[in-house]
């Protein structure tokens, strides 16, 4: 599996028994309490697993791969996590709850701000921008998590299950707002519209780089700002179209 890939590009952040370059080699080593140590190690495991899973998928990663990147023995992963799948679930859950809560709050706020008159575009902005901001400003970890989400969302095996358990509440909250914005629209159409939205969001998060080559560099996979600037209004227009024009 290629050269030695690390989630944190920075080489200075040594792990495990790297007695290390320069200054305070020995001091780098755990001076902290055990609880902190535990938390820190687990966090690192989640980070590295997140990176690898996002690139190769659940089955494409071995516990040893993860362990190597963290700089610990691979059985330590078994010590902290039941098995590979629960490691994966933990990785996914860690940020899923954050994004879920944030979006939920954003939707609530928007509804209040909009008074009795929410718009489709407004609701979509609340839903999408809040999320995109996380990936834009959240650092590498969030970007990796995004790609992982895209993978999960398109995995028939257990993907829907994971998505359901984490995102149903927010999504239903969005749907609820959309219904208020489009009172005469058939429920079916609203759900299908959401389906399109989520699909578009997922390819975005996947950042496969395909759009880069395709467009000859005009668009960049990493350019979430460009998405943010277009997606809500694009999708809102779509909603209005299929809701006003009942075939």
Torsion sign (Cα): 114, 119, 121, 124: positive
Say which entry of a second copy, DNA, none residue 163 contacts (CB below 5 to 8 A, set by partner kind).
a second copy
Residues 6+ apart with CB under 8 A from 200: 231, 235
E-only strand ranges, 44-168: none
* Residues at the site binding a second copy, with contacts judged by CB under 8 A: 54-60, 147, 150-151, 153-157, 159-160, 163-164, 168, 171-172, 187-189, 191-204, 206-211, 213-215, 218-219, 226-227, 229-231, 233-242, 245, 247
Look up residue 125 and give its two tokens.
């902005």
Look up residue 149 and give its two tokens.
């989400």
* CB 49, min distance to a second copy, A: 15
Say which entry of DNA, a second copy, none residue 164 contacts (CB below 5 to 8 A, set by partner kind).
a second copy
Window 71-100: residues binding DNA (CB under 7 A)? 72-76, 78-79, 83-84
Decide whether 66 or 181 has the Cβ nearer to DNA: 66
* CB 224, min distance to a second copy, A: 11
Task: Classify residue 72 by its DSSP letter.
Answer: S
Residues 6+ apart with CB under 8 A from 194: 171, 174, 175, 178
Decide whether 42 or 200 has the Cβ nearer to a second copy: 200
Look up residue 165 and give its two tokens.
């358990």
Say which entry of a second copy, DNA, none residue 23 contacts (CB below 5 to 8 A, set by partner kind).
none
| Binding flags for DNA, 24-63, as an x/- string (CB under 7 A) | ------xx-xxx-xx--x-------------------xxx
Decide whether 72 or 128 has the Cβ nearer to a second copy: 128
* CB 232, min distance to a second copy, A: 10
Nearest Cα residue to 86 out of 13, 162, 10 = 162
Backbone angles phi and psi of 59, in degrees to 5: -80, -15
Say which entry of a second copy, DNA, none residue 63 contacts (CB below 5 to 8 A, set by partner kind).
DNA
Torsion sign (Cα): 143, 144, 147, 152: negative
* CB 62, min distance to a second copy, A: 10
Q: Are 236 and 124 in contact (CB under 8 A)?
A: yes
Decide whether 72 or 239 has the Cβ nearer to a second copy: 239
Binding site residues, DNA, CB under 7 A = 16-17, 30-31, 33-35, 37-38, 41, 61-65, 72-76, 78-79, 83-84
């Amino acid at each position: 599996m290629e050269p030695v890939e690390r989630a944190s590009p920075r080489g200075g952040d040594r792990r495990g028994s790297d007695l290390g370059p320069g200054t305070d080699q020995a001091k780098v080593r755990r001076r902290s309490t055990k609880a902190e140590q535990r938390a820190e190690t687990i966090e690192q495991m989640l980070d590295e697993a997140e990176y690898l899973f996002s690139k190769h998928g659940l089955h494409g990663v071995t516990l040893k791969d993860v362990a190597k990147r963290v700089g610990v023995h691979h059985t330590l992963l078994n010590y902290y996590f039941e098995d590979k799948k629960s490691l994966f679930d933990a990785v996914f859950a860690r940020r899923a709850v954050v994004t879920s809560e944030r979006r939920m709050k954003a939707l609530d706020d928007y509804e209040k701000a909009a008074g009795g008159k929410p718009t489709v575009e407004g609701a979509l902005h609340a839903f999408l921008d809040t999320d995109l901001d996380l990936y834009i400003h959240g650092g590498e970890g969030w970007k990796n998590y995004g790609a992982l989400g895209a993978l999960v969302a398109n995995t028939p095996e257990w993907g829907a299950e994971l998505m359901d358990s984490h995102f149903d509440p927010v999504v239903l909250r969005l749907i609820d707002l959309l219904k208020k914005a489009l009172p005469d629209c058939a429920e079916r159409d609203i759900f299908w519209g959401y389906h399109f939205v989520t699909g578009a969001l997922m390819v975005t998060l996947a950042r496969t780089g395909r759009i880069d080559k395709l467009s000859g560099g005009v668009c960049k996979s990493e350019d979430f700002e460009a998405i943010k600037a277009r997606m809500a209004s694009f999708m809102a227009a779509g909603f209005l179209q299929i809701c006003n024009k009942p075939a």
